[in-house]
Structure 1
């Protein structure tokens, strides 16, 4: 990779999983200290990332508001408005750490040149991924979840020997 990359991390929800995925920021910063790193997340979990100095921008999807509103066309317009803002950034890489349909579609719609996630994702999410990491076993007792979240960073050549929150 010749230039400083623009990287989008997509991990939308599950507060504990968002916390467990934050070590990827330190790993990516060690490899790409000047990279532009953004994170796509839902509103319920977004406070975890607010004011994190390793993140340049946070894209918040207001899922709680959308749920209150119910099925409404305004939700769709707001969703695509956020996607439009993401696309303006012209990301080089989108890392789908959630590996569900909702996160995969955001990574795909981001327009990133490279979308990276594990093969064998749930909800057919891997059909939206350009670069697939080896499938993983969510129930492997020898592999902690944090290691799994660091695999995309390792794939990009980032060091994963140190876990920092």
Structure 2
């Protein structure tokens, strides 16, 4: 059986789909799974070895260039590539109009969430078979429940992400041991105060002499990282990282601290000891998968203090040993 999974974006959404892919790999190893996603997140789809092939699109670019002939040629090429695969069916796990429309490009029957379960109810009009998954559950469980219905298997009791960091992500000359501070996020209301970061990094360095790495994704985040590194000689501003390189950096860390951002969920998928810091979103809905070594602190309108985060990280690191 050859199946195309459609989960286009964002980073967190793709990461939250990986446990469902792992369930499928464990219960239905005969399935050949391919994945269609945004080109910028293809490295996330490639983290799971069960994904046989990754197809990419560039909708974020194409939607701004719909009058350009090159855009329509690219769409035509994608349609031809997908149809040559002759999929038995397509699973749209995103439940949006755009994901449903791209799922139809393959020419195969499309399965997805029903109108009461999809993020955009109208997306279900494009599906030949529809499934109910309760809203309000965390994203990982919703994906796992959808897959278990589509492929007709009993949901495994334990949750695994099943990821493997590819060899092309290797970074050289990292100072060990080290922590990673994920200070960057999609909007300012989700940030942790810069002085809090400085205080936490100082406490971690005083504890074991470790270094701290500061990834960034845009010029504003780079400036913030440079400002913090200027005050702490043991803090290092990363070069611009690919997603594979970011995964390698996270995999080697002694511990990770992060605000509500995609890389935090990537660290969670790598089973690293970590603390997620929440200040403007509900960790019950968007937090990391909680375990003995991974936890969330804070919440909407909350600003966890340095000591709370520090103690929680030490506890999680001890549990991971």
TM-score above 0.5, yes or no: yes
**Aligned 8 A contact 1:43 1:62 in 2:** yes
Distance in 1 separating the partners of 2:66 and 2:106: 25
Task: Give the C-alpha shift of residue 133 in structure 1.
Answer: 0.6
Aligned to 2:238: none
Q: Which runs of 4+ in 1 moved over 4 A?
A: 67-70
Cα gap change, 1:71 to 1:136, in 2 (>3 Å)? farther
CA gap of 1:70–1:106, structure 2 versus 1, over 3 A, is: closer
Number of the residue aligned with 2:98: 102
Match of 1:158 in 2: 153
SS at 2:51's partner residue? coil
Q: Is the 8 A contact 1:94 1:112 kept in 2?
A: yes
Please report how far the alpha carbon of residue 33 of structure 1 lies from its aligned counterpart in structure 2 after TM superposition.
0.8
- Match in the other structure for 1:39: 35
Q: Per-residue displacement from partner, 1:93-139 (whole Å, max 9, x unpaired)?
A: 211011111110122221223x21111131621111011112532xx
1:116 aligns with 2:114: no
Asked if the contact 2:133/2:142 (under 8 Å) is kept, the reply is no
Counterpart for residue 27 of structure 1: 23
Instruction: Find the residue that maps to 2:49 and give its secondary structure.
Output: coil
> Which structure's CA Rg is the greater one?
2
**Structure 2: gaps spanning 5 or more residues:** 162-321
CA distance 1:134–1:51, shift in 2 (3 Å): closer
Cα deviation 1:1-48 (Å, max 9, x = unaligned): xxxx11110000111011001112111112321221100000121121
Alpha carbon RMSD of aligned pairs, Å? 1.9
CA distance 1:163–1:80, change in 2 (3 Å): farther
Structure 1: gaps (5+ residues): none
Could you tell me how far apart the structure 1 residues matched to 2:101 and 2:71 are? 16
Report the secondary structure of 1:104's partner residue: helix
Equivalent residue in structure 2 for 1:133, among 126, 131, 134: 131
Q: 1:68 to 1:105 in 2, by over 3 A?
A: closer
Matches within 5 A, 1:51-130: 52-66=48-62, 69=65, 71-113=67-109, 115-120=110-115, 121=118, 122=120, 124-130=122-128
Instruction: Say which SS state the counterpart of residue 22 (structure 1) adopts.
Output: helix
Length-normalised TM-score, structure 2 = 0.45
Q: Does 1:17 align with 2:13?
A: yes
Any conservation in 2 of the 1:153–1:159 contact (CA below 8 Å)?
no
CA contact (8 A) 1:27 1:159 kept: no
Shift of residue 152 of structure 1? 2.5
Distance 2:34 2:70 in 1: 25
Q: Is the deviation greater in 10-19 or in 50-59?
A: 50-59
- 2:139 aligns with one of 135, 139, 145: 145
